[in-house]
Structure 1
Amino acid sequence: MSRTSALSSFVESTPPGELGDVTKAIKSILGDDSVQSELAPAFEKYNEEQFTTVKLPGGSGEVIVSPHNSLGDGRYYDVESQSSFLFDHATQKASGSQSYVLESNHSDLVKSLVKSLGTHTSEHYPKSSQGVFPIEDDSQLAIVTVANKYSPSNYWNGRWRSSYIYTPSSGSITGSIKVDVHYYEDGNVRLLTNKEVSVSVSSGASASEIVRQIANAEKRYQEDLNKAFGSLSEGAFKALRRQLPVTRQKIEWEKISGYRLGQDIGGGRSR
């Protein structure tokens, strides 16, 4: 594996909200600030796959960067704000905002979907961004949602991504839901999930019906995750260590310095 390939793999596997830290670490280890230009393709791939969000100059909310709304040469567009912008993949900053009018045979449906999707996400996610973009020569619509929650002071960051392809001619909705959570206090634990979704609506369905099917799929997956966490807590995690010492009595932590490890806690005899 070449140096560029190895470094790119680090970038592309970066946990949510930690790209700046990973880039800084790479520069520090190599002692080479110019490595940033070498990794430009990896930064672009990472930001588009992760649906990185960015606040536009003068804007209030954050918009999505994805392969579905790329105009080429580092420029992307947003339907809701009716603007396009330049995006620096290394610094994750936006600039050069311009007016942009979407040209699509599904323009009215796209605008309705953006509104309905915004209502859905505001009710279910503490902070999220969404977008709807015509793709495949205007024959399909990409419906994208990303919700980020970062808490580096508490050593954890998380991201929810959902992406669906809606085909108006058939009414099919296919896509996936991905959850990525990284917890790194006194350790390094990461949750990565990928749930495939396939539902359908009647041909010519309204935006509210399309979003309702998406909302139902996401609700079911959230419930499945909750059940999985519950079974882990009661099963696999408990199997990792005893809840109580061999004596079946709780440890009195204020007296921990006085315990004779292996005797008092383990139940052995003192000499």
Structure 2
Amino acid sequence: MSRTAALASFVESTPPGELTDVTKAIKSILGDESIQNELTPAFEKYNEEQFATVKLPGNSEEVIVSSYNSLGGSRYYDVESQSAFDFDHSTQKASKVQSYVLDSNHADLVKNLVKSLSTHTSEHYPKSSLGVYPTEDDTQIAIITVASKYSPSNFWNGRWRSSYIYNPFSGSITGSIKVDVHYYEDGNVRLLTNKDISVSVGSGATASEIIRQIATAEKKYQEDLNKAFGSLSEGAFKALRRQLPVTRQKVEWEKISGYRLGQDIGGGRSR
């Protein structure tokens, strides 16, 4: 494996909200500040796959960067703000914002989907960004939601990503939900999940019907995750630990959701 490929693998596996830290670590290890240019392609791939978000100059809302709304040459567009912008994948900053008019046979449906999706995300994802874009051949529509929450002072970061492709002719909705959470206080625990979604609303469905199906699928997956976490404390997680932790006190498993992994269970430092 070449050096560039090896470094790119570090970038691609970076947990949410930690790209700057990983980049600094790579520079420090190699003692080479110029490595940033070498990593630009990896940054672009990472940002598009992770649905990176950025605030446009003069705009309070964050917009999404993805392969679905790429105009080429590190330029992207946003339907809701009717803007196109340049995005620097190294610094994750936007510039050269201009007005942009969507040219699509599904323009009306796209705009209605943005409104319905905005209502859904505001109810279920307090801090999130969304995007609805026609596919490159204008035969289908991509529907994207990303919700990130960073708490580096408490040693954890997390991101929810959901992306779907809606076919207006068949009425099919296919896509996936991805959850990535990293906890790194006195240890290194990471949750990575990927749930494939496939539902149908029939051809000619309204925007509200499409988003209703998506909301139902996401609610069910969140419920499944909650059940899995509940069984984890009584099953796999309990089996991984010694009967008594280093604190020499028994773990109250029924209260496991309230523990801080590094400090309370592992006997880490107090703050």
Give the superposed CA RMSD: 1.5
Q: Please give the TM-score of this superposition, normalised by the length of structure 1.
A: 0.89
Residue 154 (1) aligns with residue 154 (2): yes
Question: Residue 244 of structure 1: CA displacement?
Answer: 5.5
Letter in 1 for 2:165: I
CA distance in structure 2 between the aligned counterparts of 1:110 and 1:241, rounded to whole angstroms: 50
The corresponding residue for 1:15 is: 15
CA distance in structure 2 between the aligned counterparts of 1:115 and 1:12, rounded to whole angstroms: 32
The corresponding residue for 1:84 is: 84
Question: Residue 206 of structure 1: CA displacement?
Answer: 0.3
Question: Residue 101 of structure 1: CA displacement?
Answer: 0.3
Question: Residue 234 of structure 1: CA displacement?
Answer: 1.0
CA distance in structure 1 between the aligned counterparts of 2:36 and 2:232, rounded to whole angstroms: 40
CA distance in structure 2 between the aligned counterparts of 1:78 and 1:63, rounded to whole angstroms: 7
CA distance in structure 2 between the aligned counterparts of 1:2 and 1:219, rounded to whole angstroms: 43
The corresponding residue for 1:107 is: 107
Letter in 1 for 2:192: L
The corresponding residue for 1:130 is: 130
Q: Please give the TM-score of this superposition, normalised by the length of structure 2.
A: 0.89
The corresponding residue for 2:95 is: 95
State the Cα deviation string for residues 4-57 of structure 1 (Å, max 9, x = none): 000000001100000000011111111111111001110000000000000000
The corresponding residue for 1:117 is: 117
Alignment gaps of 5+ in structure 1: 252-271
Question: Residue 243 of structure 1: CA displacement?
Answer: 5.3
Question: Residue 136 of structure 1: CA displacement?
Answer: 3.7
**The structure with more radius of gyration:** 1
Letter in 2 for 1:177: I
CA distance in structure 1 between the aligned counterparts of 2:242 and 2:22, rounded to whole angstroms: 36
Secondary structure in 2 aligned to 1:142?
strand
Question: Residue 241 of structure 1: CA displacement?
Answer: 3.0
The corresponding residue for 1:44 is: 44
The corresponding residue for 1:229 is: 229
Structure 1 pair 29/249, CA: closer, same or farther in 2 (3 Å)? closer
Letter in 1 for 2:154: N
CA distance in structure 2 between the aligned counterparts of 1:168 and 1:153, rounded to whole angstroms: 45
Secondary structure in 2 aligned to 1:86?
strand
Question: Residue 89 of structure 1: CA displacement?
Answer: 0.2
Query: What percentage of residue pairs aligned between the two structures are identical?
Result: 84
CA distance in structure 1 between the aligned counterparts of 2:250 and 2:170, rounded to whole angstroms: 62
Letter in 2 for 1:237: F
The corresponding residue for 1:145 is: 145
The corresponding residue for 2:28 is: 28
CA distance in structure 2 between the aligned counterparts of 1:249 and 1:181, rounded to whole angstroms: 28
CA distance in structure 1 between the aligned counterparts of 2:209 and 2:111, rounded to whole angstroms: 14
CA distance in structure 1 between the aligned counterparts of 2:241 and 2:118, rounded to whole angstroms: 44
The corresponding residue for 2:3 is: 3
Secondary structure in 2 aligned to 1:67?
coil
Secondary structure in 2 aligned to 1:101?
coil
Matches within 5 A, 1:156-235: 156-235=156-235
CA distance in structure 1 between the aligned counterparts of 2:249 and 2:222, rounded to whole angstroms: 37
